[in-house]
Amino acid sequence: MKISHIEEIPEQLRIHQHRKGTFRYRRLAEGEPGTPGNFLLELVQTTDDFFSPRHRHNFDQFRYQVDGEFDFDRNGRMKPGVIGYFPEGTPYGPQTSSVRSLTLVLQFGGASGSGYMTQAEMEAGTEQLKKQGVFEKGAFRRNEDVEGKRNTDGYQAVWEFVNKRPMVYPKPRYHDPLMMEPSHFEWVPVDGAPGVCDKLMGVFSERHTEARFLRLEPGATFRVRGRRLCFVLDGSGSIAGRTYSKHTTVSCDDREEAEFVAAAPTEILVLGLPKLDGAVQHAAAAAE
């Protein structure tokens, strides 16, 4: 189990070269590079210079809007408190940001087992590809004297350069991203856990990817088990003898658990990562 406090994580600046715009971010948690279950959880602040064209990915995403707005055009607008699930293989966007937008973003290897490329791989691949063409408005345009497709999605172009093979997009399990309004859900008491309620947003795909909110009254305790990321939206208390407060992040692996003991009213966003046993074989077969 890993615990990180927002005030201990430095804010960094990133120029979004394979899209358009700059943003500031705090890296809250990350997985194991090179594995189907790799992931990256960041708290991201964008401004109105951000733009991304309509596109799709070979990985999954959850987005929780903390402040400001993010506009996904035909797929809807994310206002504060809205959570979105963006499945692998499903097109979405184009997307633009309000003047100031703060979003919790989890990107992770999805049900197909295609994995998730690390940020270091992305940045290195982007720099190398600049020698062969230009990134413009979210697309990569190759120079005339370089072999390959003239215009490619920016992320896809980098992924193919890093992995040395064409990207095979998973067949979309969902036609559209899912935008969910938690304030329209009711809190439901959790059996066997006095003082604890939850709001289940959904369990997605055959790999049981999951999103839910937990609410703990002062003095209540609750154990979160398995591959889950917990982001404290509000409240304070302790975990394994360590304190938690607003925007503390807790990351658990398969055989781990985190016991929250609330000292003050607490609300937690819990994101369950997919169960990927057997997904590696499916991904290998699809790539052949």
Please write the tens of the pLDDT for every residue from 123-173.
Answer: 899 899 999 999 887 889 999 888 878 888 889 999 999 999 999 999 999
Distance of alpha carbon 68 from alpha carbon 274, whole angstroms: 29
Of 177, 162, 88, 63, the closest CA to residue 119 belongs to: 162
- pLDDT higher for 287 or 50? 50
To which CATH superfamily is domain 184-272 assigned? Jelly Rolls (2.60.120.10)
Domain ranges of the chain: 184-272
Q: What letter represents residue 136's amino acid?
A: E
Bridge partners (DSSP) of residue 4 are 249
Q: 3-state DSSP call for residue 270?
A: strand
Q: Check whether 283 has a pLDDT greater than 70.
A: no
| pLDDT given at position 221 | 98
- pLDDT higher for 71 or 233? 233
- pLDDT higher for 83 or 284? 83
- This prediction has a pTM of 0.91
| pLDDT given at position 19 | 66
Distance of alpha carbon 252 from alpha carbon 84, whole angstroms: 22
Q: Check whether 20 has a pLDDT greater than 80.
A: no
pLDDT tens string 197-218: 999 999 999 999 999 999 999 9
pLDDT tens string 186-197: 999 999 999 999
Average pLDDT over residues 244-268: 97
Bridge partners (DSSP) of residue 203 are 210
Q: Check whether 285 has a pLDDT greater than 60.
A: no
My answer on whether omega of the bond before 87 falls inside 30° of 0, hence cis, is: no
